[in-house]
Amino acid sequence: MNLHLDTQDQAFREEVRAFLRDNLPEDVRRRSRIGYHPANEEDRRWWQRMLFENNWAAAHWPTEYGGTGWTPIQQHIFEYESRMADAPELRWQGLRLLGPVLYTFGTDAQKARYLPAILRGDEQWAQGFSEPGAGSDLASLRATAVLKGDEYVLNGQKTWTTEGQWCEQGFFLVRTADTPKPQAGISMIIVDMKSPGITVRPIPMINGGSSPCEVFMDNVRVPKENIIGEVNRGWDQAKFLLSNERTSSSEIYKAYGDLTRIRQIASQQQKNGRPVIEDSAFLDKLTMAELEVQALEWAVLRVLCDAPSEHPVAANASVLKVRGSELQQRLSELAVEALGVQGLRLYTREESFADHTNDPIWPDYITGATNDLLYLRAYTIFGGAKEVQKNIIAKVAFGL
Ligand SMILES: Cc1cc2nc3c(=O)[nH]c(=O)nc-3n(C[C@H](O)[C@H](O)[C@H](O)COP(=O)(O)OP(=O)(O)OC[C@H]3O[C@@H](n4cnc5c(N)ncnc54)[C@H](O)[C@@H]3O)c2cc1C
């Protein structure tokens, strides 16, 4: 693996920087920078469209499906520069999770119907895997899809469905057969979220936002061609998808943005009459976190570049998920620690997104930090809980 930036990569970086500089208005940057969850939906959709119009909608997809054809290093440069320029964070579910499943396992008709709308940002996707009683033990899911004529009829409940209230489409895991091995009777199916019989209820979160939802399905009728790939092969597709989710959820780019923000806060906030950044105990913690972010970046790049590894992909993806999510939590704690007593207040969505530029009482960097810290408690849970990831590492990497 060669991570030296050659002249081509340097030119590419300049091209990305110029695009971001010319196309990202300050109000959009500000709303992204504060780190409030859930993020501004209109900004994200608008930015996806902008990228689409520049043929940059999907950095990591193959060109035949509308991807950029960039090398792993170029993808990394693009994501890093986007974060450092405070570009809106694109939603994962369509781009990173479903898209690769569709172009790998989907039918030609599914690819033609759904991939372009993901690229344009016209349709957002809800991931309907977890249920009450089926999270870590996903194979015990109970939502059913029964074939009646040309349609499947869906019944059951999903939970924690991120931003289900804003999504046009969903990809759901459902039970299509009762088999001795529960994994063998699961299929992945595309569900129009506006179908009769679907009820979506947002779940209030500790951070003051409502991002995940409960989704109830009551005799929802779905065309049979909406099964992705083959019926009863959903478990293979889910494993493929979760491996991609765990690699992405190391969120290395967010970590670099957070480090910049922590330095800004710690330079401006005072402790005992001096900037927090001059406090040696704080600086030690920040420096250690910076080193760990750099180490994780190398680990992510090794996976992106398919560098030789003695361990299977699933184990590496779980390692990145555990390390990345723990590090994210630590960075959010450092941001609030730097804020001191000003970190005690939780700002509302309206207060957070309002323009506080040059406001001496509520500078912009204050309003999202505590919301971010509380939201990030979920990082070691979603995409597979931390304890379960450690089990996977023990089993797959070390045969324990
Ligand atoms: C904010 C948020 C967003 C989410 N978004 C989505 C989404 O969009 N779509 C979706 O499908 N799901 C989503 N999830 C659900 C998420 O994937 C599950 O919460 C996660 O898989 C854990 O499942 P669970 O909540 O049922 O907890 P459980 O599986 O009941 O686990 C509870 C605790 O027991 C531990 N535990 C369980 N089994 C073991 C074991 N074998 N060994 C050791 N410890 C164990 C876990 O680590 C955990 O600490 C989201 C969750 C959150 C919090």
* Residue 102 belongs to some domain of the structure: no
CA 379 to chain centre: 10
Token pair 């679907």: residue? 198
Q: Among 69, 90, 111, give the residue marking a domain's end.
A: 90
* Residue 95 belongs to some domain of the structure: no
- pLDDT at residue 31, rounded to an integer: 94
CA 283 / ligand 1 centre spacing (Å): 34
The set of long-range contacts for 110-118, using a CB threshold of 8 Å and a minimum separation of 24, is: 110/190, 110/225, 110/226, 110/228, 111/65, 114/169, 114/190, 115/65, 115/66, 116/66, 118/58, 118/94
* Residue 383 belongs to some domain of the structure: yes
Q: Among 204, 239, 274, give the residue marking a domain's end.
A: 239
One-letter-per-residue 3-state SS of the chain: CCCCCCHHHHHHHHHHHHHHHHHCCHHHHHHHHCCCCCCCHHHHHHHHHHHHHCCCCCCCCCHHHCCCCCCHHHHHHHHHHHHHCCCCCCCHHHHHHHHHHHHHHCCHHHHHHHHHHHHHCCCCEEEECCECCECCCHHHCCCEEEEECCEEEEEEEEEEEECHHHCCEEEEEEECCCCCCHHHHEEEEEEECCCCCEEEEECCCCCCCCCEEEEEEEEEEEEHHHECCCCCCHHHHHHHHHHHHHHHCCCHHHHHHHHHHHHHHHHHCEECCEEHHHCHHHHHHHHHHHHHHHHHHHHHHHHHCCCCCCCCHHHHHHHHHHHHHHHHHHHHHHHHHHHHHHHHCCCCHHHHHCCCCCCCCCCHHHHCHHHHHHHHHHHHCCCCCHHHHHHHHHHHHHCC
Asked if residue 134 and residue 71 are part of one domain, the reply reads no
Asked if residue 293 and residue 219 are part of one domain, the reply reads no
> Which residue owns the Cα nearest ligand 1 atom 7?
161
* Residue 114 belongs to some domain of the structure: no
Token pair 């019989």: residue? 197
- pLDDT at residue 249, rounded to an integer: 65
Residues of the chain scoring pLDDT < 50: 1
- pLDDT at residue 247, rounded to an integer: 66
- pLDDT at residue 161, rounded to an integer: 98
CA 135 / ligand 1 centre spacing (Å): 5
137's CB contacts (< 8 A; 6+ apart) are: none
Asked if residue 132 and residue 28 are part of one domain, the reply reads no
Asked if residue 295 and residue 233 are part of one domain, the reply reads no
Closest C-alpha among 338, 388, 334, 330 to residue 363: 338
Asked if residue 392 and residue 273 are part of one domain, the reply reads yes
Does ligand 1 have an atom closer than 6 angstroms to the CB of 385?
yes
**298 and 2 in contact (C-beta within 8 Å)?**
no
* Residue 344 belongs to some domain of the structure: yes
Asked if residue 130 and residue 151 are part of one domain, the reply reads yes
Asked if residue 387 and residue 292 are part of one domain, the reply reads yes
Residues of the domain holding 343:
249-398
Q: Among 64, 90, 116, give the residue marking a domain's end.
A: 90
Asked if residue 283 and residue 257 are part of one domain, the reply reads yes
pLDDT digits (tens, 9 = 90+) for 223-240: 999 999 999 999 999 999
- pLDDT at residue 271, rounded to an integer: 93
| C-alpha count within 13 angstroms, C-beta hemisphere, residue 388 | 12
**What CATH number corresponds to the domain at position 143?**
2.40.110.10
Does ligand 1 have an atom closer than 6 angstroms to the CB of 140?
no
CA–CA gap between residue 324 and residue 297 (Å, rounded): 9
Does ligand 1 have an atom closer than 6 angstroms to the CB of 170?
no
Token pair 């500078």: residue? 363
Cis peptide before 38 (omega within 30 of 0): yes
Closest ligand 1 atom, CA of 133?
26
Closest C-alpha among 156, 133, 132 to residue 144: 156
CA–CA gap between residue 83 and residue 264 (Å, rounded): 16
pLDDT digits (tens, 9 = 90+) for 325-347: 999 999 999 999 999 999 999 99
Mutate which of 244, 322, 382, 400 for ligand 1? The one with the most ligand atoms within 8 Å of its CB, which is 382
* Residue 378 belongs to some domain of the structure: yes
**What CATH number corresponds to the domain at position 377?**
1.20.140.10
- pLDDT at residue 358, rounded to an integer: 85
Does ligand 1 have an atom closer than 6 angstroms to the CB of 325?
no
- pLDDT at residue 2, rounded to an integer: 52
Q: Name residue 123's amino acid.
A: E
Asked if residue 368 and residue 263 are part of one domain, the reply reads yes
Could you give the residue numbers annotated as active site?
A: 245
Task: Report CA dihedral (31, 81, 386, 346) to the nearest 10 degrees.
Answer: -20
**36 and 352 in contact (C-beta within 8 Å)?**
yes
Closest C-alpha among 157, 186, 170 to residue 123: 170
Asked if residue 154 and residue 132 are part of one domain, the reply reads yes
Asked if residue 380 and residue 279 are part of one domain, the reply reads yes
CA 384 / ligand 1 centre spacing (Å): 6
* Residue 101 belongs to some domain of the structure: no
Asked if residue 212 and residue 254 are part of one domain, the reply reads no
* Residue 96 belongs to some domain of the structure: no
Could you give phi then psi for residue 175, rounded to 5 degrees? Answer: -90, 120
- pLDDT at residue 201, rounded to an integer: 98
- What is the number of other CB atoms lying within 10 angstroms of the CB of residue 90? 21
Provide the domain count of the chain.
3
CA–CA gap between residue 395 and residue 202 (Å, rounded): 36
